[in-house]
Amino acid sequence: MGKGKGKGMGKDMSTAARKRIVVVGHGMVGHRFAQAAIERGLTETHDVVIFGEEPRAAYDRVALTSWFGQGAEALSLLPGGEYDDPRVRLVLDSVVTEIDRVARTVTVVSPPSAVGDLLANPGAVTVHDYDVLVLATGAAPFVPPVEGRGKDGCFVYRTIEDLEAIRAAGVAATSGVVIGGGLLGLEAANALVQLGLETHVVEMAPRLMPVQLDGAAGSTLVRHVERLGVTVHTGVVTEEIEGAESVTGLRMRQAGTEAGAPTEVVDAQVVVFSAGIRPRDALARECDLRVAERGGILVDAQCRTADPAIFAVGECAAPGGRMYGLVAPGYAMAEVVVDALLDGPGTFTGADMSTKLKLLGVDVASFGDAFATTDGALELTYADAVAGVYKKLVVSEDGTRLLGGILVGDASAYGVLRPMVSSGIALPDNPEQLILPVGGGVRLGMPDEAQVCSCNDVSKGDILHAVAEQGCEDVAAVKQCTRAGSTCGSCVPTVKSIIEDHFASVGKVVEKGLCEHFRLTRQELFDVVAVHGYRRFDDIVEAHGTGRGCDVCKPAIASILASQTSTHILEPATAGLQDTNDAYLANIQRNGTYSVVPRIPGGEITPEKLIVIGEVARDHGLYTKITGGQRIDLFGARMEQLPAIWRRLVDAGFESGHAYGKSLRTVKSCVGSTWCRFGVQDSVGLAIALELRYRGLRSPHKLKGGVSGCARECAEARGKDFGVIATEKGWNLYVGGNGGATPAHARLLAGDLDTPTLVSYLDRFLMYYVRTADRLQRTSTWIEHLDGGLDRVRSVVVDDSLGLGAELEAEMARHVGGYEDEWRATLEDPAKLERFVSFVNAPDTPDPSIAFTTERDQIQPVLPARIPVGAPA
């Protein structure tokens, strides 16, 4: 329901000379105009009245999909619904239907409760004078003229109300299709995935995100997206949306073919149009303001229309005949109009169209001249198909300047690279180092005028001024002061680095809190829990934090509590802190089933246990696979099947392999001296002993180990967090290795160790890591970030320079002594077993959307819409 705020909206203002600005639209850009008007003193001479047609104040459309998990309040840009300055009035749920340029009035249609005592004239239709009119009407989703587009089940993706309608339709649906594979289309696909629907994306271009990505980048993105269960159809056009009154499917054919060509039908009950946007310029057209050929209100460099009293900003405007579909240019236009009304010189001459988003969990960035259209431009590319990473830099012909680039799968360098384009920073001698897995740090060479936040036009100098002159000491304060990082958030890592670098340069301690609820680091929280003996998250946040916690601090503290107390993670005090996998002691898979991974220490297993695994897989219809960690994974278990499966495995002597937790996974081994003619030590025996010792150890990130029986390194120990390689004299211990997107080779910590010394060093190393690493920090990154790096680790672990050796070993001994198998304990506790149901109100009912087909004599997941007619579920 609409409502206005404050008093004095009629002509009876106490100061007759004051002018009135009417703003049509209260989206992100309309809100930014109001903020700038207040901040720059425009409200000292002008009253501002804003009419918004939605029932709520401006909210963050960039993060629209997060509404599913966080709700509307978290997205709101004006949580209280009113501005602190009483000279700015907001009226919601109100539509401006007409502009009278001669009389300088607007006609507003509002529900009766939106007027009454708030507007000068009671009733649903009111007329309001203006001295200045600012059009911020935004854009509307484009719905292509597809046959069937008006059927029930067809939606657009633009507002919270749209999402509410999509969610309601998703309750009875099993699959959905998004028409459009651009930025908004992939956001819409993410929404359908979160609703549990089989999701398809249909894109007419030959690749996803065709405006931002080249062919190689698009292919990399497709691989990422399809791994998440989304089916991508590129190079196709929609011919018809099928169904009588409601959607039953979507018919498509190859792009470039004529009507009547072969078609393909995708079953769907929900269709979301996300095929672009069109400027909402109808008001301007109706009052004879000039519009661009392809839509949008024509404005000059100060965003003024042909009528000097009317301005247009954001997606409805077309400076130079071009519409800008991102929020950053709209913010810049809003600032320009405020400057113009203050008789300032500001102009809008174009905008940075760089983009960085996380789409369906995949980092994607495009900036500058991404397609190398500049004469003589050269391209440098790095691709890792296994890790799903693609990076491209476009550089000038002489190789001295960065012109643009594309990043997919790993966009961590975006915060450094994008400012290099706008500031003209000279490239290093080896520019390829900027995109290789181990890159160089170039931000220190960034000049003060380099733009860091393109959304809000904030430079490095602005950030330094906020820190040095305005007392901002952390990212949150800089956001509030400059707005850097407050819109899309992609520049936050760079903002943080600038703050830290400045404080380091002046000798000031840098704030590195875990999250907004704790100013303490993970290491400090670890010590706090140890000293005070806390056992409950609520006690910790009450004593040392604020608020109720978040998905960052809750799992981190749950891990700390588990590593210190060896308490079962599903105890009432900590069960609610766990992430999805830990909450069910299993990894959830793409079709909603779970994997079962029993521990097989060192990869050694008896025939009897092998038979049990085979029987369990056969009886429960599970997919089986031998993994690179030398164990057997069973896939396709429904949630309600997990206890029965684990009961048989536990009875046969198996225990949890902790594949779901941030803890020890496996210790891989070769056969060693027992069987191999080259082996010099018993690698299997040591691997089993180490895996049984460190099993269940909760840590900042997952841990993997390996033991090789000779220098031939068949167990690949130097690719693990800790690796042991046999020598004629004993064992060499390596630390800090890992695979993944950024592989790291483990380095020698100590050599020719006897077994007791090796174990003591490993105890110290692992507990030192558990104590001091940041959340989700692998051992390799942790070592690199320690002052002194590996030498520091060697000093603490081998030389015992801090005198912590005995203490660290004692902590590990407590872990070993307190270990219990999480699945055995769960099976013995009826209260813990209550969570393993698909439907709380129907605990014996399996999820009907889960189905399988058979391939290579094993089950394969099939999403619901693909079940053949008459096939068993």
3-class SS of residue 379: strand
pLDDT at position 412, please?
76
DSSP 8-state symbol, 307: S
Mean pLDDT, to the nearest integer, of 345-367? 82
- CA–CA gap between residue 93 and residue 797 (Å, rounded): 65
Residue 705 · residue 691 · CB < 8 Å: yes
CA gyration radius for the chain?
A: 30
DSSP 8-state symbol, 120: S
Could you tell me how many residues make up the chain?
A: 873
Six-digit token pair at 104? Answer: 């300088």
Listing DSSP states for 696-738 in one string gives T-B-SS-EEEEEESSTT-TT-GGGSSEEEEEETTEEEEEES-B
For residue range 448-502, list pLDDT tens digits in order: 777 788 777 788 889 999 998 888 877 778 888 888 877 766 677 778 778 888 8
**pLDDT of 179 over the 70 cut:** yes
CA angle 367, 372, 374 (to 5 degrees): 105
Listing DSSP states for 423-484 in one string gives HTPBPPS-GGGGTSSS----GGG--TTSEEETTTTEEHHHHHHHHHTS---SHHHHHHHH-T
- CA–CA gap between residue 255 and residue 219 (Å, rounded): 18
Residue 548 pLDDT grade (very low, low, confident, very high; cuts 50, 70, 90): confident
**pLDDT of 331 over the 50 cut:** yes
Write the CA distances from 774 to 452, 532, 700, 779, integer angstroms.
26, 21, 7, 10
Strand pairing category for 105-109 and 125-129 = antiparallel
3-class SS of residue 742: coil
For residue 623, list its beta bridge partners.
635
pTM over 0.85: no
CA angle 569, 573, 577 (to 5 degrees): 60
Residue 589 · residue 580 · CB < 8 Å: no
pLDDT at position 710, please?
93
Residue 75 · residue 64 · CB < 8 Å: yes
Which of 194-203, 714-723, 734-743 is the least confident region? 734-743
For residue range 502-529, list pLDDT tens digits in order: 887 887 766 678 888 998 989 889 999 9
**pLDDT of 7 over the 80 cut:** no
Q: What percent of the chain has pLDDT over 90?
A: 57
- CA–CA gap between residue 281 and residue 844 (Å, rounded): 55
For residue 147, list its beta bridge partners.
240
Listing DSSP states for 563-592 in one string gives HHH---TTSHHHHTTS-HHHHTTS-B-TTS
Write the CA distances from 275 to 205, 296, 309, 714, integer angstroms.
11, 18, 34, 52
Q: In sequence order, which residues have a C-beta less than 8 Å from that of residue 142 and are 6 or more positions away? A: 273, 275, 276, 277, 278
Name the amino acid, one letter, at 675.
W
- CA–CA gap between residue 789 and residue 793 (Å, rounded): 7
Name the amino acid, one letter, at 183.
L
